[in-house]
Structure 1
Amino acid sequence: MIRTLMHCTAPVRATISLRSLRWAHSAPPLPCQPVPDLRKTLTRYLRSLQPLVDDDELESTRELVGDFLRPGGQGEELQRQLHKRAERTDNWLTDWRQECIYLENHLPLPVHSSPAVILPPQEYKDWRGQLRFASKLICGVLDFKAKIESPGGLEELWRGQRLCPDQYYKFFGSCREPGTKRDRVLLHPRSKSHHVTVCKNYQLEGPGLLPPRTPLTRVPSPRKLYFNFPPEIKQHIEQAKQNLDILVSDLDICCFSFPDFGKKFPQRYNMSPGTFLQTCLQLAYYRLHGSLCATNEGVSLRAYHRGRSDVVRCSSPEALEFVQAADDPQKLAEEKLSLLVRAVESQQEATEQVLEGQSVDGAILALRMLCLSSGMALPALFMDTSYAVSSHWKLFTGQVSSPLDCVMCYGPLVPDGYSVCFAPTQDSITVCVSAFHCCEETDAERLSDSLQGALRDVHSLLRSSRSEED
Structure 2
Amino acid sequence: MTSAECINPEHTLTYQSRLPRLPVPTLQDTASRYLESLKPLVTKEQWEKSAALVKDFVKPHGQGEYLQSLLEAYARTQPTSWLETWWLSGAYLTWREPLVINSNYFILGKDDPNQPPFDNQKNPRQGIPEGTFTPFQIRRAAHLIHECLNYMEIIESGTMPVEKTRNGAQCMDQYFRMFGTTRIPQPGQDALRQPSPVTLRHIMVLAKDQVFAVPVFAKGDHRVRLAVGDIEDQLWQVVKQVTSPSADLDAPVGVLTGDHRDAWAELYAHLQNFHPTNAQSLELIQTALFSVSLDDYSEGEDHLKSYRNAAGGRQGHNRWFDKTIQIIVEASGRVAFNGEHAPCDALIPAYMYDYILDCPVRWPGPPYPKSMHDYEPPRRLRFHVDEEIRRGIKDAQALVGRILDQSELAITHFTKYGTTFIKRVGKLPPDAYVQIAIQLAYYRLHGKLVATYETGSTRKYLHGRTETIRTATQEILWFVQAMSNPSTDDATRYRLLHGAAVKHNENSKLASEGQAVDRHLFGLKMAASQLAGLSPDQLHPMFTKDPSFSLSSTWTLSTSSIHQGTNFIATGFGCAVSDGGYGINYMKQPLQIKAAIEGKRTGSSNVQGMDHAIKQALADMGELCEKQVKQSSVKPKL
TM-score of the pair, normalised by structure 1: 0.88
* Distance in 1 between residues matched to 2:390 and 2:145, nearest whole Å: 29
Contact 2:12 2:162 in 1 (8 A): no
Matched AA of 2:539: L
Instruction: Return the offset for 1:336.
Output: 1.0
| C-alpha spacing 1:203/1:97, structure 2 compared with 1 (3 Å) | closer
Contact 2:557 2:582 in 1 (8 A): yes
Once the two structures are superposed, the pairs formed by residues 250-261 of structure 1 within 5 Å of their partners are 250-261=406-417
Of the three residues 430, 445, 456, the one matched with 2:594 is 430
Instruction: Return the offset for 1:227.
Output: 2.8
* Distance in 2 between residues matched to 1:184 and 1:152, nearest whole Å: 27
Q: How many residues align?
A: 444
Answering whether residue 563 of structure 2 is matched by residue 401 of structure 1, we say yes
Contact 1:297 1:398 in 2 (8 A): yes
Contact 1:121 1:208 in 2 (8 A): no
Instruction: Return the offset for 1:312.
Output: 0.5
Q: Tell me the residue number matched to 2:54.
A: 65
Matched AA of 1:244: V
Q: Tell me the residue number matched to 2:65.
A: 76
Instruction: Return the offset for 1:392.
Output: 0.8
Contact 2:15 2:169 in 1 (8 A): no
* Distance in 1 between residues matched to 2:75 and 2:383, nearest whole Å: 48
Greater shift after overlay, 405-414 or 182-191? 182-191
Contact 1:301 1:308 in 2 (8 A): yes
Matched AA of 2:533: G
Q: Tell me the residue number matched to 2:615.
A: 452
Does 1 or 2 have the higher relative contact order (CA < 8 Å, sep 6+)?
Answer: 1
Instruction: Return the offset for 1:177.
Output: 2.5
Partner-residue secondary structure (3-state), 1:386: helix
Once the two structures are superposed, the pairs formed by residues 78-97 of structure 1 within 5 Å of their partners are 78-89=67-78, 90-97=80-87
Q: Tell me the residue number matched to 2:110.
A: 120
Matched AA of 2:360: L
Q: Tell me the residue number matched to 2:451.
A: 294
Provide, for residues 154-187 of structure 1, a one-character-per-residue CA deviation record: whole Å limited to 9, x for no partner: 3x47489722122222222333322413323333
Once the two structures are superposed, the pairs formed by residues 119-268 of structure 1 within 5 Å of their partners are 119-122=109-112, 123-124=115-116, 127-148=134-155, 150-154=156-160, 156=161, 158=163, 162-188=169-195, 190-191=285-286, 192-201=323-332, 210-212=360-362, 214-217=368-371, 222=378, 224-268=380-424
Contact 1:120 1:209 in 2 (8 A): no
Q: Tell me the residue number matched to 1:7.
A: none
Contact 2:565 2:587 in 1 (8 A): no
* Distance in 1 between residues matched to 2:59 and 2:162, nearest whole Å: 49
Contact 1:421 1:433 in 2 (8 A): yes
Instruction: Return the offset for 1:220.
Output: 6.2
Contact 1:120 1:208 in 2 (8 A): no
Gaps of 5+ in 1: 1-21
Partner-residue secondary structure (3-state), 1:110: coil
| C-alpha spacing 1:96/1:203, structure 2 compared with 1 (3 Å) | closer
Of the three residues 369, 373, 381, the one matched with 2:542 is 381
Once the two structures are superposed, the pairs formed by residues 327-406 of structure 1 within 5 Å of their partners are 327-373=484-530, 374-376=532-534, 377-383=538-544, 384-402=546-564, 404-406=566-568
* Distance in 2 between residues matched to 1:329 and 1:458, nearest whole Å: 15
Matched AA of 2:416: D
Matched AA of 2:111: P
Contact 1:262 1:426 in 2 (8 A): yes
Percent identical among aligned pairs is: 29
Q: Tell me the residue number matched to 2:353.
A: none
Q: Tell me the residue number matched to 1:5.
A: none
* Distance in 2 between residues matched to 1:180 and 1:202, nearest whole Å: 38
Instruction: Return the offset for 1:460.
Output: 0.5
* Distance in 2 between residues matched to 1:203 and 1:136, nearest whole Å: 13
| C-alpha spacing 1:356/1:25, structure 2 compared with 1 (3 Å) | same
Greater shift after overlay, 403-412 or 58-67? 403-412
Instruction: Return the offset for 1:443.
Output: 1.4
| C-alpha spacing 1:179/1:234, structure 2 compared with 1 (3 Å) | farther
Matched AA of 1:454: A
Contact 2:575 2:582 in 1 (8 A): yes
Matched AA of 2:620: D
Q: Tell me the residue number matched to 2:471.
A: 314
Provide, for residues 265-303 of structure 1, a one-character-per-residue CA deviation record: whole Å limited to 9, x for no partner: 221243210011001110000000000000010122111
Contact 2:457 2:466 in 1 (8 A): yes
* Distance in 1 between residues matched to 2:594 and 2:13, nearest whole Å: 36
TM-score of the pair, normalised by structure 2: 0.66
Instruction: Return the offset for 1:235.
Output: 2.1
Contact 1:394 1:418 in 2 (8 A): yes
Contact 1:295 1:394 in 2 (8 A): yes
From the CA coordinates, give the structure whose radius of gyration is larger.
Answer: 2
Gaps of 5+ in 2: 1-10, 122-133, 201-284, 287-322, 336-356, 634-638
| C-alpha spacing 1:85/1:228, structure 2 compared with 1 (3 Å) | same
